[in-house]
Amino acid sequence: MKDYITVIGGGLAGTEAALQIAKRGIKVKLYEMKPVKFSEAHSNNNLAEIVCSNSFKSNLLTNACGLLKEELRILGSELIPIADSVAVPAGQALAVDREKFSEAVTRIVEENENIEVIREEVTEIPEDELVIVATGPLTSDIFAKRIKELIGEESLAFYDAVAPLIEKDSIDMNIAFYGNRYDQERAKDEDVEEWLKRPKQEEASYINLPMNKEEYIEFYNELINAEVAHLHEFEKREIFEGCMPIEIMAKRGEDTLRYGPLKPVGFTDIRTGYRPYAVVQLRQDNSEGTLYNMVGFQTNLKFGEQKRVFSKIPGLANANFVKYGVMHRNTYINSTKLLDSTYNLKKNNNIFFAGQITGVEGYVESISSGFVAGINAANKLKGKSPIIYDRNNVIGALAEYISTEKEDFEPMNANFGILPELPEKIKDKKERYQKIAYRSLKNLKK
């Protein structure tokens, strides 16, 4: 056995794992194929590049992902504090300046004396050393083939989509307005005139684009009839519900978007003083506030169609799209049959997996898996017992979920449904989640 650990993949899981190993005094060889080779969704040379969205989801403890972030802060995650340090306004959520985030992670990793960053594509899985495979859902074809050779036919795949980015200065603020959900809503008509006189609150986290019924119906019809990129390639593939392209979601029914990403509840249309028929939200994407991403607008429309259809949204008639949405293949393994709750491969204990390739879905979830795999790989090299996190904590429940054999397995986000129920029945969901979170944090103090 070598006296170092190899980590393959410099994304969120790989960098968290490498930093956890290095923190324990062990040398790490961290392989990242950029800039020698890029996947279809990556575009810069930095480690821990964020592709789909800049949101790490809610910070509230009554949200499972918010609780997972707090668990990771307490346990000593390296990446969550970096995300906190480059946060941009997002209400109760943690959203980051993605460029500054990846730059900071890259700098910290490259400056760590225990980590050697090797910029080349790995085409073989080493057999005589401890390895963490954290190549993510965009694993290169040749390495995906090596994984399949290692694990047999237990690999799966689905398709994922990314939302467009818009320049803030190109948004019509005579139509759009700043605000977080429920900030603008007024229960009585007499409050509306007074509210409309108030100055716009630029410190609010979102820019909102209200639609009346006619505007929504026009947009909806254009969306469901728009031309899709590579339709024949993707239409036969499995698409993950958590990143459903908006045009596919829309085809489920005329009102589907109004109960999903375009939900109008909690807003007032500044043009009328009343609740709009639908609302498109734009979330700040960089710390300068010059770029905004379209919340829930993951898409596989052709670029020209994105410009044409999305420009029909009130406020975006002259929008400058600096990055269009794309759809790409995501690969993950059937972890429920292959891994244990430390993300260790059952048939070859020298190999760990981490990140979205294991079927954990989301940025924080990927960091969580890298954290667990990194610590346990370090313990294995030192001859120590593995650390198995309690299923009363999200970090442990997630690891247990992806390592418990089941027939139908698809990527899983952090959620309260995977944690054990409370001994008492509590109908109020918020109160129930608060008690689960209290139990979790109290458990960590042990």
Q: Do 379 and 413 fall into the same domain?
A: yes
Instruction: Give bridge partners of residue 279 from the DSSP assignment.
Output: 210
Q: Which of 263, 298, 325 is the last residue of a domain?
A: 325
Instruction: Determine the pLDDT at residue 183.
Output: 61
Among 325, 355, 385, residue at a domain's last position: 325
User: In the prediction, which pLDDT does 228 show?
Assistant: 87
The confidence score (pLDDT) of residue 212 equals 94
pLDDT tier at 288, thresholds 50, 70, 90: confident
Q: Are residues 292 and 170 in the same domain?
A: yes
Q: Does residue 61 share a domain with residue 147?
A: yes
Say whether 210 sits in a helix, a strand or coil.
Answer: strand
Residues 182 and 147 in one domain: no
Least confident of 89-93, 324-328, 382-386: 324-328
* pLDDT tens column, 266-279: 888 777 888 899 99
Q: Which of 325, 351, 378 is the last residue of a domain?
A: 325
Rounded-to-integer distance, Cα 434 and Cα 428, Å: 10
Same domain, 237 and 122: no
Task: Read off the pLDDT band of 154 (50, 70, 90).
Answer: low
Q: What is the pTM of this model?
A: 0.75
Looking at the predicted structure, is the pLDDT value of residue 96 above 90?
yes
Give percent above pLDDT 70 in the chain. 88
Residues 252 and 363 in one domain: no
Q: Binning pLDDT at 50, 70 and 90, where does residue 427 land?
A: confident
201 pLDDT band (50/70/90 cuts)?
very low
What is the Cβ-side half-sphere exposure of residue 131, based on CA atoms within 13 angstroms? 17
User: How many Cβ atoms from other residues are within 10 Å of residue 443's Cβ?
Assistant: 15
- The total number of structural domains that make up the chain: 2
pLDDT, tens digit, 9 for 90 and up, residues 210-240: 999 999 999 999 999 999 886 444 444 556 5
Q: What is the pLDDT of residue 37?
A: 66
Lowest average pLDDT, out of 45-49, 76-80, 325-329, 387-391, goes to 325-329
Q: How confident is the model at residue 182 (pLDDT cuts 50, 70, 90)?
A: low
Indicate if the pLDDT at residue 21 is higher than 60: yes
Q: Please give the helix or strand (H or E) that residue 351 lies within, else none.
A: strand 351-353
Specify burial of residue 427 (Cβ count, 10 A radius: 0-12, 13-18, 19+).
exposed
Note whether 309 and 171 are same-domain residues. yes
| Distance, CA of 53 to CA of 50 (rounded, Å) | 7
Tokens 């905004």 belong to 292
pLDDT tens digits, 302-324: 999 999 999 999 999 999 898 88
Calculate the average pLDDT of the chain: 87
Residue 318 belongs to domain spanning: 165-325
Q: What CATH number did the domain enclosing 57 receive?
A: 3.50.50.60
CATH of residue 250's domain is 2.40.30.260
pLDDT digit string, tens, across residues 100-150: 999 999 999 999 999 999 999 999 998 889 999 999 877 788 888 888 888
Mark whether 250 and 387 lie in a shared domain: no
Decide if pLDDT at 187 tops 70: no
Q: How many whole angstroms separate alpha carbon 334 and alpha carbon 353?
A: 11
User: Per-residue pLDDT tens for 332-364?
Assistant: 888 999 999 999 999 999 999 999 999 898 899
Tell me, yes or no, whether 258 and 173 share the same domain.
yes
User: 319 and 188, same structural domain?
Assistant: yes
Q: Do residues 229 and 327 lie in contact, with contact meaning Cβ atoms separated by under 8 Å?
A: yes
Residue 311 shares a structural domain with residue 339: no
Give the closest residue to 295 by CA, choosing from 89, 51, 53, 50. Answer: 53
Q: Is the peptide bond before 35 cis (omega within 30 degrees of 0)?
A: yes
Residues 103 and 225 grouped into a single domain: no
pLDDT value, residue 113: 98
